[in-house]
Amino acid sequence: MKTNKLFLPAIFAAILFLSSCKNPVDPPPDLDNDGIADAQDQCPSVAGVSEFGGCPPPPRDRDNDGTPAAQDNCPDTPGDREYNGCPFGKVDVCSGNSPYSHYGYKWSNLMPVFQFSSSLPSAWRNETEYAASTWNAVNAGIEIRVNRTIVSNGVGQDNKNVVSYGPISSSKLGVTYGWYNTSTRILSEADIRLNSNYSFSIGESSNKYDVRSVLTHEFGHFLGLDHVSDRTHTMYPEGYPDSIIYRTLCAGDKLGLLRLY
């Protein structure tokens, strides 16, 4: 019995000794020491967090405009939260209001026709027609039509409605000149002139104004609409460079035309 008691503990001790001699398992490689194995690390050389696959978390608000990066459509350009972090003019939205104003004149001829002046760059002619068609799409009972015969006329009472390009003494991007009967308030003629003192483009371009947007605004005047104070509307009196938001009409723009005709 004494022999058995000594033998069993000896075997047990030997087992414990053998176990303690096993080699430890090496941890998986982790080049950036962020606790995420390189095999699962999407940024293995830059320390990050598991939430972003081992990459550093994105900045919460890179442009410091108060819009979290996850909701910021313009993360590197300060903007307004109202426009998803973009500056006004980069996102085409309408306010939901319906402001409109009338000059006090209108056409009795419900198919007024305009022509292109030779001073208007030929590349802008299609843009001019698109601008007019934007108002025609309101279906207010008046349709602006085009006579594609090029004329040398510009601004002047000459029985022609002409869209031209040239210098304007005011700071306006464009001006619409109308002639009407002061008793009946009926238009007999209207000319549109784009101000050559500004740089225009077709579409968005840095420090340039979209020619179609400006012409859409001016055709609003051509039809008898005045300015409104809601900057989301096409009939707002200021334009924005590198923006095409005024190509499309808001509720007040449309309602103003419907109420006029």
**Do residues 112 and 67 both lie within one domain?**
no
Q: Both 113 and 190 in a single domain?
A: yes
User: Is the residue at 84 inside a domain?
Assistant: yes
Backbone angles phi, psi at 80, to 5 degrees: -110, 140
Pair (162, 45) in one structural domain: no
Tokens at 76, concatenated: 């590197």
Residue 74 and residue 114 in one domain: no
- What does the pLDDT read at residue 24? 63
In angstroms, rounded to a whole number, what is the distance separating the alpha carbons of residues 131 and 143? 12
Euclidean distance between the first and the last CA atom of the chain, given in angstroms as a whole number: 120
Specify whether 191 is located in the same domain as 229: yes
The CA-CA-CA angle for residues 126, 129, 135, to 5°, reads: 145
Q: Is residue 159 part of a domain?
A: yes
Q: Is residue 163 part of a domain?
A: yes
Residue 248 placed within a domain: yes
Q: Given this model, what pLDDT does residue 23 score?
A: 58
Identify whether residues 82 and 116 lie together within a single domain.
Answer: no
Same domain flag for 188 and 68: no
Domain match, 47 and 171 both: no
Same domain, yes or no, for 134 and 167?
yes
Contact status, residue 254 vs residue 216, Cβ threshold 8 Å: no
Residue ranges making up the domain that contains 73: 40-91
Q: Tell me, yes or no, whether 33 lies in a domain.
A: no
Domain membership of residue 185 (yes or no) is yes
What pLDDT does residue 59 have? Answer: 66
Model pTM greater than 0.85? no
- CB 215, CB 134: distance < 8 Å: no
| 4 part of a folded domain | no
Domains contained in the chain, number? 2
pLDDT of residue 22: 54
Query: Does a structural domain hold residue 64?
Result: yes
Low-confidence ranges of the chain (pLDDT < 70): 1-25, 58-59
